[in-house]
Amino acid sequence: MNLIVDVGNTLVKFAVFQEDELVEKIIVELFEFGKTQKNISINHPKIQKCILASVGKLSKEMVSELEKQYKVLILDSNLKFPFHNRYKTPTTLGVDRMALVSASVNQYPNDNVLIIDAGSCITYDFITQQNEYLGGAISPGIRLRYKSLHNFTANLPLLDTEIPEALIGDSTVGAIHSGVVNGIIKEIDGVIDEYLEKYSDLTVILTGGDANFLSKQLKNSIFANSNFLLEGLNFILEYNTH
């Protein structure tokens, strides 16, 4: 069994895999790391290997506790990845994006794949059917757009994420929801349309914290998978330890 530990800006995702099957997923705040990790080790004593992403967010003590129990693989650009990286600045490419591309290679081999990760930022990553990763794009995510309108203007309120009632906002609140959410939907659909003009046989994966919220509103056909990054990390662990 494998343990996947993905440390984000505020939350930690733990995932337990039995081969390719996700057995359990737990999401906690960083201060709950030690307690949660201990409970997982008790409930899943057969875990032998672990991959750790975003290690910089953890203290040395937290990392040490993992290393006492498991063979730990630290996710970085020096690992083996199952694709040809054509990114011109590979050392600046986020390892989370590399994990997403790895997941696409594992699950959609020999396909042209666009992976859209809708989280704090929206990232677009493209890999060809020749197994070449070309790059993509990065833009602000939903919450970042709401917060930017509030933080960089004098009078606009900070709103919770909400599907707009109409295209034409007839109040400041309605106008913000329309601008943020409709703007992102049009952006994503527009990006997909441009890729489809070049690659008609395109597979599109939508993942990340806002995937479910956005998937219901997109006109293009996509596969929504909120666990795609975790599946990619599990694949990288297996790919580097076999």
Q: What domains can you pick out in the chain, each with its CATH number? A: 2-74 (3.30.420.40), 84-233 (3.30.420.40)
pLDDT value of position 55: 62
Tokens 């295209």, residue located = 167
Number of C-beta neighbours around residue 87 at 10 A: 15
More confident residue, 189 or 91: 189
DSSP three-state, residue 90:
helix
Annotation-wise, does 172 bind a ligand? yes
pLDDT band, residue 59 (cuts 50/70/90): confident
Between CA 239 and CA 235 the distance in angstroms is: 6
Share of the chain above pLDDT 90, in %: 84
Active-site residue among 20, 76, 96, 160?
A: 96
More reliable by pLDDT, 56 or 137: 137
- When pLDDT is cut at 50, 70 and 90, the band that residue 124 belongs to is very high
The response to whether 7 counts as a known ligand-binding position is yes
pLDDT at 8 (0 to 100): 80
With cut-offs at 50, 70 and 90, classify the pLDDT of residue 22.
Answer: very high
Specify the pLDDT at position 109. Answer: 93
- Is the predicted pLDDT of residue 42 greater than 90, yes or no? yes
Q: How much of the chain exceeds pLDDT 70, in percent? A: 99
* Residues 229/25, Cβ–Cβ less than 8 Å: no
Tell me: is residue 11 an annotated ligand-binding position: yes
- Model confidence over 76-96: pLDDT tens digits? 888 999 999 999 998 889 888
Res. 12 pLDDT band, cuts 50 70 90: very high
d(Cα 229, Cα 234) in Å, to the nearest integer? 9
Active site annotation includes 111: no
